[in-house]
Each structure stands twice: as C-alpha cells, then as structure tokens.
Amino acid sequence: MTIIAEEVLLLAYEETEGKQLVTSAYLDSAIGGALLAELALNGRIALDGKKVVVKDAGPLGNEELDAALTRIAEDAKERRPESWVYKLQSGKLRKRLLTGLAERGVLGENHRKILGIFPSSRYPELDPSVELEVRGRVQSVLDGAEPDERTIMLIAVLRAAKIDRKAFPGVDKKRVKELTEDVWVGKAVAKHIASMHAATTGGAVAAVS
C-alpha cells in the first residue's frame, strides 16, 4: 500500500519519460505536507489551535513516517504546521521515496548527466496499476463522488503545490477549493510555499537596492 507522500510523487511525474511536472521546491513542500497528513490520518498528530501536537507516538511501521513522528515528538517546542512542512521536506526525502517506489517495481530509475556535467534523474512508470488506482480515486472525488478523508488530504496537498492542475488538466478549480479550503495540511503547504516566494522576492529586492 502506498502512503500519501508516494501518491503525490506518482501524480507529480510524467508517466512515460518520468519528468517532474512541478519544481522541486513545490514538490518537496508537498511531500512534507503529505507526511503530516498521513500521521494525522493515523491519529498520531493533530492540530491544537495553531500548533501540531502528538497524540500517539507509537510507530506505524513505515520508516519515513516513523522518523517524522519521532522528530515531532522529540522537539522541545510545539510548532505550526507550516514549520513542520519546512523541517520535514528535503530533496533527500524525495529521492528516498522515489528509490523505494523503484525498488518495488512501480517506477524505473534512470540517472544521467546533461552535457556530461549536470546530474539528472528520470522516473518512468513501470507498473501503471498503482498510479491508476490513485488517479481513479482522486478523479472520482473531483467528479462528485463522496470524498473520504484520505483523498481530500491528498487533493489539498496537490492543490497547494499546484500539482493538481498539471496532473488533472481542466480540473474544476471551484470543486477543488470546496473540498480542500478547510484542510490544515494543505494550508500549511501553501503557507510554506508562500514564505519561500517572499524570501526569494525579498532577496531580489535587497540585491537591487
């Protein structure tokens, strides 16, 4: 069974050539939010006011989820969800999850160097059945089916990182907004991405001044 972070990855890569559909910054933020979503769905964490709190520190048996839960549980202070998106997301996490999908035969894993210098990786789909199940579940909800909490959280993360419009061209933006506007993990990813933009813009302004 896939976790939400893996489902995000399956939808964020083009099936044939295995190219990313969004920037690494957006994708990594989505993965960080997806870990929070999975922990929340399994009753390990919750939002208490504006802070993430641990409800149950028991392991789930998934290496990445358990590492994230331990990190949250052992932190000396309670933090806002967007802070945890920042702390949990990383390119290394993304690559570990992709490699895991490749080891299970879901994706291929091709590495090369552009111009003989710049490393580039592609993850073409090998077993389409896994993504098709995820895509079908999401599309069904987008088309009006009764949503389940897991699918709503997935859609919220996809929307925040702008993956939804790439993975589901022509998606009904009004429907997506109705489904996800109150989902805190989606808001956390969106806030983290907004803070990255603000930092980049501020740095550019400072450089010009």
Mean pLDDT, range 107-120, rounded to an integer: 75
Check whether 203 has a pLDDT greater than 60. Answer: no
| Residue 205 pLDDT | 33
Q: Output the CA torsion sign for 104, 128, 167, 171.
A: negative
Q: How many CB atoms are closer than 10 A to CB 96? A: 13
Q: Output the CA torsion sign for 62, 128, 98, 169.
A: negative
Both tokens of 138, joined, read 């999401």
Q: Which domains does the chain have, with CATH numbers?
A: 4-200 (1.10.3630.10)
Please state whether 56 falls in left (phi above 0), alpha (psi between -120 and 50) or beta.
beta
Check whether 113 has a pLDDT greater than 90. Answer: no
Give the torsion through C-alpha atoms of 163, 127, 109, 65, to 10 deg: 60
* Residue recorded with tokens 């109705």: 178
Rounded Cα–Cα distance for residues 157 and 188 (Å): 9
Both tokens of 87, joined, read 């702390």
| Residue 197 pLDDT | 80
